[in-house]
Amino acid sequence: MTTHEYSVDTYPYRHAGETVGFDIDSCEIDGQKHELDSSGSPVTLFESDGWSTVTFEVALTVEDETLEYVFPDADDHDGALVVEGYCPSTHGRFVEPIAVRDFGAGSHASEVELNREEFRGLTTLTPRLLRANSRSADDEYASQSGRYLADGPRFDVYFDRPKLSLKGDLPVIPAEFSDSNNPGEPGTEWFVDVRDAETPRLYVNRDYPTVVSAINAIENPTKQGIVGRVVLNHLAVSMLTQFTIKAASHAVAHGEIEYEWQETLLHGLCSEYFTDGTVEELEESLQVEAISDTVSKIETIYQRRRAPHEDVKRLLEVMPS
C-alpha cells in the first residue's frame, strides 16, 4: 500500500473535536419537498434538472460539556454555531450562522439556502462551533475570532452526478447498477464480470457517488486523495480476490488456463499459494472444504502488496478490450 507522511495536528487551545451534532431534517428544491436517503449523507440533487434553489432545514446540537470545555466563562458563550460550505469545483466557500452568542446547549435549527448557479459537483457542509470575538487573555482557550472550537460529521451534497474519470488509473467501467441493463446488483459498489472470460470487465456503480468521488481523488495530494487510495486499495483486494477465484473456476471448467489475465493472477500474483499452478491444484482449492481457506489466503496475498489498485490496473491492461 502506498504510504504518506502525516502530520497530526494538535490544537494549541481547547478544541472539543467532533462533538457538534448535525442533522438535515428536510430538503426542498424550489419549494418542493425533496426526499432524502434515510442514511443521510450523501445528499444527491442530480436526479432533477432545471431548478434554481435548494433549501435545507438543518439542526446543530451542542452539549453543555462542550461549551464548558471550549469557553473560559461557562455563562458567556462568545461563539457561533455555523454550517461551513465548500465546493471544490467552483472554489466557493460560505458560512451560514445557525446560532450566534448567548446560545445554550441543545439543538439549534435554521435554514441553509443554496443557489444552484453557485455550485457544481460536490459541496460539503460541515457543522462548526467558532469563537465569535477575539479576546486578549493568554490562556488555554482560543482567543482569536473565527477559531474552530469544535466540529461535527459533514454532509456531502452532490449537485451533479460525479464523473468517474480515473484517467491514467483503473480502466473500469462506470455503470448505474439501478438500471436493469447493467450486470451489477443494485446496492453493490462494484462488479467483476467474467461472463465472457476472454474479455472480463470491472464495473463500478455510479449510483454510489461517494465511492466514485473517493476513487477520483486518488491522484490528489490531499487528505481526500489519501483516503481515496485507502478505499481503493481495500476495494482492489476484494476485486483481485474475486477475479482470482473466477479465473480458477474458469480454468477448472475448461480444463486449462486459456487467457493471459488468468495466467497473471494464478501463476503470477498468487504463485505463492498456487505453487504447482496445475488445473488439478486449482480444482482442489475450490472444493467446499478448501474454498474458505483459499479465499482467506488469496486476500492475505493481495493485502500484503504495496498498491493493490495498481495490480488491478495492470490486470485490466492485459485483458483485451
Partner 1 sequence: MTRLYRLTTGGKENLVTDEFLTTETTYSEDRVAPFREQTQYTADLDSLGRVLDWVMGDGAERFDDRSDLDAAVAPAVREFVNVPRRAAADEGIWHYLSIVWRPDYVRYRWTLERGNSSLTSLREKFTKSTRDLYAPAFARLWFMADFTKSDGGYRTTEKILKRQYSANRLFDRTDLRQRPVIRAIARVAYDLDDDEFIDDDDVFETVAKAVSHELTTISAESVGVDGMEKLVRQKYDRVTG
By CB under 8 A, residue 257 contacts partner 1: no
Is residue 129 within 8 A of residue 62, CB to CB? The reply is yes
| Span 118-137, contacts to partner 1 by CB under 8 A | 118-121, 128, 130
What separation in angstroms does the CA of 113 have from each of 2, 29, 116, 212?
40, 10, 10, 26
Phi-psi sector, 283: left (phi>0), alpha (psi -120 to 50), beta: alpha
Residue 156 Cβ vs partner 1, minimum distance, rounded to whole Å? 16
Select from 34, 77, 147, 250 the one that contacts partner 1 (CB under 8 A). 147
Least separation in angstroms between CB 294 and partner 1: 40
Residues 269-288 that bind partner 1 (CB under 8 A): none
Which lies closer to partner 1 via its Cβ, residue 76 or residue 118?
118
Residue 62, SS3?
strand
Q: Least Å distance between CB 245 and partner 1? A: 33
Which one of 2, 48, 53, 89 is in contact with partner 1 (CB under 8 A)?
Answer: 89
User: In angstroms, how far is the first alpha carbon of the chain from the final one?
Assistant: 27
Return the number of the residue (204 or 240) whose C-beta is nearest partner 1. 204
Give me the least distance between CB of 142 and partner 1, in Å please.
8
C-alpha cell at 180: 436493469
Report the greatest alpha carbon distance in the chain: 80
In 3D space, the residue among 16, 44, 59 whose CA is nearest the CA of residue 160 turns out to be 44
Neighbour-count burial for 159-173, b at 16+ CB within 10 Å, e otherwise:
bebbebebeebbbbb
Q: Which of 43, 87, 194, 214 binds partner 1 (CB under 8 A)?
A: 87
Binding range to partner 1, per CB under 8 A, among 60-68, 110-118, 177-185, 226-234: 110-118
**Binding to partner 1 (CB under 8 A): which residues in 195-254?**
222
Nearer to partner 1, 95 or 105 (CB): 95
- Among residue numbers 24 through 83, which ones bind partner 1 (CB under 8 A)? 80, 82
Q: Is the peptide bond before 97 cis (omega within 30 degrees of 0)?
A: no
Q: Would you put residue 31 in left (φ > 0), alpha (ψ -120 to 50) or beta? A: left
Phi, psi of 142 (to 5 degrees): -60, 140
90 binds partner 1 (CB under 8 A): yes
Measured from the CB atom, the residue of 163 and 314 that comes closer to partner 1 is 163
| Residue 154 touching partner 1 (CB under 8 A) | no
| φ and ψ of 41, to 5 deg | -80, 145
DSSP class of 41: P
DSSP assignment, residue 23? E
**Pick from 26, 57, 59, 92: which binds partner 1 (CB under 8 A)?**
92
Binding site for partner 1 (CB under 8 A): 9, 11, 15, 80, 82, 84, 87-95, 116-121, 128, 130, 144-148, 159, 222
